[in-house]
Amino acid sequence: MNTQTHDVIVECTEASTNERITFPEVVGKLIAAGVERYTADLTRAEKTYYLPNGENETLKMFAVSKAPAERFSADGVEAAVRASQKQEIKYRGFCERIAEAGCVGYMVSLAGKRAVYYGRTGEMHVEMFPQ
């Protein structure tokens, strides 16, 4: 992985954690840097970024305050997404809310223009990027 791509990944992770950047801004920067997809593991407090050639990098993210709920609520995840889109909550609050809804992690496909949120037993909610 080249230094420029690494630097963008670090910048996006830190800016998200510190709530200085929005999701659409993250998406734009990562696409420009050649990132194909990334995962966020709320249990391990890690994000892993993947390039099309298989290269990847894992970085620590902030830890949610409570373990994700045992039961997954797609409606709860969707409500958190909508609140984030309306800028009613920022990234940390978003992660707390999806964890409360039983989300243990999510995968963002930049190429597929979607985010897949999943629970402990494989339930999921797919959210397409807004047009």
Q: Going from the N-terminus, what domains does the chain have, and what CATH number goes with each?
A: 3-128 (3.30.1810.10)
Beta strand extents in the chain (DSSP E only): 37-41, 46-50, 56-60, 103-109, 114-119, 124-128
Question: For all residues of the chain together, what is the average pLDDT?
Answer: 96
Per residue in 1-24, pLDDT (tens digit) is: 899 999 999 999 999 999 999 999
CA distances from 34 to 8, 52, 69, 105, 120 (A): 10, 8, 34, 22, 30
pLDDT, position 131: 77
